[in-house]
Amino acid sequence: MAGFGALIADSPLFKVYLYWGAILIVKMLSMAFFTARRRMRSNAYANPEDAVSHPGAKVVLDDPDVERVRRAHRNDLENVVPFLLLCPLYLATGPGVTLATNLIRMFAVARIAHTALYLNEVPVLRGVAWVVGLAVTLFMAGATIIYSC
């Protein structure tokens, strides 16, 4: 059975989506802590009113270490947010439970790996993690379009 009305408490996919959706949102929010930590270490703040309260701090908008965390954060906005917007649409098409569960898990693992690899400056594997996440989202989008057209 398809539809949002079917995503109820006794549906197995309902809990998978709630669990991994919440995990991915915590992961995405955690980027702000990494940015704040980097700003403190580099003494590089974006706002003059923030810099005055830290002795020796400067207003810097191009600190390489801070910008790396901000790029990883923006990459999450560009990839995790579309996935979380699409996932309930895909689940509402009534996909197989095993397939949908594994797609959601694969996306979550790929994005957690992507952040770790980005912050640690690992080039090729970071690209692989990004492609895996993108491929899962595009597969779900394709299945949703085929179902609904």
Residues contributing to the site for its own copies (CB under 8 A): 1-9, 11, 14-19, 21-23, 25-26, 28-29, 31-32, 46-50, 52-53, 61-62, 67-68, 71, 73, 77-79, 81-82, 84-86, 88-89, 92-94, 121-124, 134, 137-138, 140-142, 144-145, 147-149
Minimum distance between the CB of residue 56 and its own copies, rounded to whole angstroms?
A: 17
Element (H, E) at 38: helix 12-42
Distance CA 101, CA 62 (A): 40
| Closer to its own copies by Cβ: residue 8 or 56 | 8
Dihedral angle at the C-alpha atoms of 82, 131, 95, 112, nearest 10 degrees?
-70
For the bound state, the minimum distance from the C-beta of residue 5 to its own copies, rounded and expressed in Å, comes to 4
Residue closer to its own copies (CB basis): 6 or 41: 6
